[in-house]
């Protein structure tokens, strides 16, 4: 038989819940943080909540029952026990209405409870307070405690759920979600191990989890993560407590166990999204076929429903929700609320970024697109400035040019192998650099083109930088532009996506992109000498082991211990997103979005030196959109025409 202590049922039983209509649920929580300053009473002796008196619900029906819990030793009423006589009244703006005498005190595991009855004469919808008048039994002055309380018929607008991934044990995390608190108030959450407390005769040492503090959001909702102490084991009965400092409402679950969930059943989102954008969500642990309503809410203000999904036969929901176009920017939370009274509440942090202005940088062909990109640069002052001129037909010699161009403020223009396009010639004349550096050998850019550029008579002339192969050309370019570099990105020279993605990031860190034979077991001696000569302190490998061998990583880790990092995503787009995330961890003004399927547009755009993400031609991958939203740019510049990147990409359509 289960054991009863006072008014509290101890033993297996369904988790206590109060129902609420789904239409009333607009719940988003602020992530919990470790409680910095735990109230002294909690710090000195274990107890379920900070010292004080709490009401069991923020509202009660006319003639309805309610409970007041006393935690610790209050100044006004002691521990709520027989040392004080108590009289209760409901006080509102119109009157003070005496209430029936409260029940005798029932004490168990750090909580003393008294039950009360609301007067049927109080009009429905009246907001006021429950006034407890406590008089010492041995004589002395009476003192009062006021607890906010509303008289309202119908279900109380409170609801909660708790879950745990894995078994109860030291270090496990219980996630509790609830609403019904006062917006903006501070709450303290903890868990009491009823099994341990009873076994020790009521001693709560080791039976109360460390309290966690959190701020309630603008709709009265909160989520907290509570760490299970050592010594707790599966099968222990646990009692959740969340106590509001302003509302004086204490949610008490009653003995039970959190809902066990696998990591895949926790609510997951795409992590960041633009206002008006699509949000991919996934969660589990619901009842089959039940409807789960999702709402979005900032830390202050009203929540807004964003959609609903129906659970499958396994209790999982997965789908895409559309955020409102006016969703406020910032870190918010998404909550999912099941349709059944005893179902789950789930929430997850979500970064909402203001929708950026999307502009397109393009021309009639790759050469004119590069010209359009270069027009972001003002004409150089007389006798200053450099322009890199590279092949628009082949990429090998030019791969490292973008990073170097960005590091010295130089545009990159493209040319056909045998003739200088008219638009490129006109742009060179507009820029009037002191020097033009032609990148690559004669197979990439012919002597005829070199002669045409030389004929434009720039102040310091036109020079060719080209080696016997792409790797030597890359080393010559770096030697020409840099005397030192703290960071280098190593990328393969046999393909373009990784090297081009790394270019702007390298420039932002004062570094360079170094091309290597990724399939080789080690980096060649000439490249190692160059890296050492630059004084590099940070080596970043781009691409997975299929692109950049494990032998190269091992060699560099031996030469630069603790200074080698690899960036490798699920595909070229994800790799670019990882590179950008590491180089630009915060918000930026502008982001470039270039094709990851071809090289010319990204090659020229890399010279702008701002974060550059890449995309397929018809949609933007989730990892790229998530990174884009996390960067919170004011402007996204789509580089290339509508064949390279369709209007759907410019609309930031998620794949």
Q: Over range 239-262, report the average pLDDT.
A: 93
Task: Say which residue, 246 or 654, is predicted with more confidence.
Answer: 246
Residue 18 scores a pLDDT above 70: no
pLDDT digits (tens, 9 = 90+) for 91-123: 999 999 999 999 999 999 999 999 999 999 999
Residue 9 scores a pLDDT above 50: no
Q: Over range 368-394, report the average pLDDT.
A: 92
CB 68 within 8 A of CB 80: yes
* High-pLDDT (> 90) share of the chain, %: 73
**pLDDT tier at 341, thresholds 50, 70, 90:** low
Q: Over range 238-253, report the average pLDDT.
A: 96
Domain co-membership, 511 together with 404: yes
pTM, to two decimals: 0.66
pLDDT digits (tens, 9 = 90+) for 624-634: 998 998 898 99
Name which of 67, 63, 23, 91 is nearest 153 in CA terms: 63
Q: Are strands 59-60 and 143-151 parallel, antiparallel or unpaired?
A: parallel
Residues 6 or more apart whose Cβ sits within 8 Å of residue 100: 88, 116, 117
The answer to whether residue 511 is domain-embedded is yes
Residue 142 scores a pLDDT above 70: yes
Residue 8 scores a pLDDT above 90: no
Q: Residue 44: its pLDDT value, please? A: 52
Neighbours of 457 (CB within 10 A): 8
Neighbours of 78 (CB within 10 A): 17
Instruction: Write the CATH number for 283.
Output: 2.60.40.10
Domain co-membership, 126 together with 248: yes
Between CA 155 and CA 61 the distance in angstroms is 8
Name which of 336, 508, 536 is nearest 409 in CA terms: 508
Q: Residue 490: its pLDDT value, please? A: 97
Q: Are strands 590-595 and 538-542 parallel, antiparallel or unpaired?
A: unpaired
Between CA 367 and CA 373 the distance in angstroms is 10
DSSP string, 510-573: T-EEEEE-TTSSS--HHHHHHHHHHT--EEEEES-TTTS-HHHHHHHHHHSTT-EEEE--SSHH
The answer to whether residue 20 is domain-embedded is no
Which backbone phi and psi does 199 adopt, to 5 degrees? -65, -25
* High-pLDDT (> 70) share of the chain, %: 92
Each residue of 307-328: b (16+ CB within 10 Å) or e? bbbebeeebbbeeebebeeebb
Domain co-membership, 428 together with 565: yes
Q: Residue 11: its pLDDT value, please? A: 29
Residue 165 scores a pLDDT above 90: no
pLDDT digits (tens, 9 = 90+) for 251-283: 999 999 998 887 777 888 766 788 888 888 999
Give the least confident one: 189-198, 261-270, 274-283, 446-455. 261-270
**pLDDT tier at 298, thresholds 50, 70, 90:** confident
4, β-bridge pairs: 9
Neighbours of 461 (CB within 10 A): 11
Q: Which pair of tokens denotes residue 356?
A: 């950026």
Q: Residue 193: its pLDDT value, please? A: 96
Domain co-membership, 148 together with 208: yes
DSSP string, 71-122: ES-BTTTBTSSTTEEEEEEEE-SS-EEE-PPPPPPEEETTEEEEEEE--TTS
Q: Are strands 612-615 and 590-595 parallel, antiparallel or unpaired?
A: parallel
Which backbone phi and psi does 165 adopt, to 5 degrees? -100, 115
Using the 3D structure, point to which of 353, 368, 398 is the last residue of a domain: 353
The answer to whether residue 26 is domain-embedded is no
Between CA 290 and CA 306 the distance in angstroms is 17
Residues 6 or more apart whose Cβ sits within 8 Å of residue 155: 18, 19, 20, 21
DSSP string, 134-163: EEETTS---EEEEEEEEE--S--S-EEEEE
Domain co-membership, 542 together with 614: yes
CB 391 within 8 A of CB 380: no
Domain co-membership, 170 together with 291: no
The answer to whether residue 13 is domain-embedded is no
CB 244 within 8 A of CB 182: yes
Domain co-membership, 81 together with 229: yes
Average pLDDT, the chain: 88
Domain co-membership, 97 together with 225: yes
Domain co-membership, 217 together with 343: no
Which backbone phi and psi does 88 adopt, to 5 degrees? -120, 150
Write out the residue range of the structural domain in which residue 414 sits: 360-650
Using the 3D structure, point to which of 335, 353, 371 is the last residue of a domain: 353
Between CA 426 and CA 379 the distance in angstroms is 12
Domain co-membership, 414 together with 320: no
Residues 6 or more apart whose Cβ sits within 8 Å of residue 278: 320, 321, 322, 323, 653, 654
CA dihedral 518, 439, 386, 483 (to 10 degrees): 40
Give the least confident one: 268-282, 371-385, 473-487. 268-282
Q: Residue 396: its pLDDT value, please? A: 84
Using the 3D structure, point to which of 327, 353, 379 is the last residue of a domain: 353
Report how far apart the first and last C-alpha atoms of the chain are (Å, whole number). Answer: 57
For the four alpha carbons of 411, 414, 419 and 420, in that order, the dihedral sign comes to negative
Q: Residue 26: its pLDDT value, please? A: 31
Between CA 429 and CA 427 the distance in angstroms is 5
Domain count, the chain: 3
Residue 166 scores a pLDDT above 50: yes
The answer to whether residue 440 is domain-embedded is yes
Between CA 156 and CA 154 the distance in angstroms is 6
The answer to whether residue 472 is domain-embedded is yes
Residue 30 scores a pLDDT above 80: no
Between CA 377 and CA 433 the distance in angstroms is 11
Between CA 162 and CA 234 the distance in angstroms is 15
Q: Over range 618-643, report the average pLDDT.
A: 92
Between CA 391 and CA 246 the distance in angstroms is 68
Residue 21 scores a pLDDT above 60: no
Residue 14 scores a pLDDT above 50: no
Domain co-membership, 196 together with 268: no
Residue 545 burial by CB count (10 A; 0-12/13-18/19+): exposed, middle or buried? middle
The answer to whether residue 274 is domain-embedded is yes
The answer to whether residue 4 is domain-embedded is no
Q: Residue 654: its pLDDT value, please? A: 83
Residue 297 scores a pLDDT above 90: no
Q: Over range 226-242, report the average pLDDT.
A: 96
Residue 299 scores a pLDDT above 90: no
Region for 321 from its dihedrals, namely left if φ exceeds 0, alpha if ψ lies in -120 to 50, beta otherwise: beta
Domain co-membership, 374 together with 434: yes
């Amino acid at each position: 038989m289960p054991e009863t202590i006072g008014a509290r049922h101890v033993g297996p039983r369904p988790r206590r819940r109060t129902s609420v209509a789904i239409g009333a649920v607009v719940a988003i929580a602020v992530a919990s943080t470790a409680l910095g300053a735990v109230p002294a009473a909690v710090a000195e002796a274990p107890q379920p909540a900070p010292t004080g008196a709490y009401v069991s619900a923020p509202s009660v029906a006319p003639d309805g029952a309610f409970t007041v819990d006393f935690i610790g030793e209050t100044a006004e009423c002691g521990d709520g026990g027989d040392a004080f006589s108590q009289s209760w009244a409901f006080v509102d703006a119109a009157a003070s209405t005496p209430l029936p005498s409260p029940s005798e005190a029932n004490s168990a595991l750090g909580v003393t409870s008294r039950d009360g009855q609301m007067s049927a004469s109080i009009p429905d919808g009246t907001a006021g307070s429950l006034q407890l008048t406590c008089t010492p039994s041995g004589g002395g002055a009476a003192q009062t405690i006021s607890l906010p309380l509303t008289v309202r018929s119908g279900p109380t607008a409170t609801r909660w759920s708790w879950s745990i991934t894995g078994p109860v044990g030291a270090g496990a995390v219980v996630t509790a979600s609830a609403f019904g608190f006062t917006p903006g108030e501070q709450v303290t959450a903890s868990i009491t191990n009823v099994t341990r407390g009873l076994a020790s005769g009521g001693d709560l040492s080791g039976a109360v989890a460390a309290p966690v503090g959190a701020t309630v959001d603008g709709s009265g909702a909160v989520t907290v993560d509570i760490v299970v102490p050592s010594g707790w084991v599966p099968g222990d009965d646990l009692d959740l407590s969340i106590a509001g400092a302003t509302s004086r409402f204490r949610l008490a679950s009653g003995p039970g166990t959190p809902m066990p969930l696998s990591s895949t059943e926790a609510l997951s989102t795409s992590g960041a999204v633009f206002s008006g954008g699509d949000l991919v969500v996934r969660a589990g642990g619901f009842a089959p076929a039940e409807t789960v309503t999702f709402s979005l809410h900032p830390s202050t203000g009203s929540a807004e429903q964003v959609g609903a999904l129906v659970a499958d036969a396994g209790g999982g929901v997965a789908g895409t929700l559309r955020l409102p176009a006016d969703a406020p920017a910032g870190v918010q939370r998404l909550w999912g609320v099941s349709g059944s009274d005893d179902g789950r509440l789930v929430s997850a942090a979500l970064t909402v970024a203001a929708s950026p202005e999307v502009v397109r940088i393009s021309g009639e062909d790759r050469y004119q697109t590069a010209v359009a990109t270069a027009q972001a640069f003002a004409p150089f002052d007389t006798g200053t400035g450099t322009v890199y001129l590279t092949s628009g037909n082949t990429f090998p010699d030019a791969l490292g040019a973008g990073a170097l161009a960005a590091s010295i403020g130089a545009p990159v223009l493209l040319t056909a192998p045998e003739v200088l396009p008219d638009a490129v010639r006109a742009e060179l004349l507009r820029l009037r650099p002191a020097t033009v550096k032609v990148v690559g050998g004669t197979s990439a850019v012919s002597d005829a083109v070199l002669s045409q550029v030389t004929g434009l008579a720039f102040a310091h002339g036109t020079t060719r930088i080209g080696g016997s192969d792409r790797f030597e050309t890359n080393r010559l370019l770096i030697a020409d532009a840099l005397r030192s570099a703290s960071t280098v990105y190593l990328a393969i020279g046999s393909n373009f996506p990784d090297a081009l993605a790394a270019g702007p990031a390298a420039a932002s860190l004062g570094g360079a992109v170094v091309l290597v034979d990724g399939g080789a077991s080690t980096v060649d001696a000439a490249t190692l000498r160059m890296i050492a000569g630059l004084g590099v302190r940070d080596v970043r490998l781009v691409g997975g082991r299929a692109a950049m061998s494990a032998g190269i990583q091992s060699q560099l880790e031996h030469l630069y211990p603790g200074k080698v990092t690899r960036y490798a995503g699920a595909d070229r787009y994800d790799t670019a997103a990882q590179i950008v995330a590491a180089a630009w961890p915060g918000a930026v003004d502008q982001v470039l979005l270039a094709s990851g399927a071809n090289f010319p547009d990204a090659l020229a755009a890399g010279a702008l030196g701002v974060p550059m993400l890449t995309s397929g031609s018809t949609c933007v991958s989730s990892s790229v959109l998530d990174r884009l939203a996390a960067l919170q740019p004011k402007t996204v510049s789509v580089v290339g025409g509508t064949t390279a990147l369709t209007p759907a990409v410019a609309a930031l359509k998620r794949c």
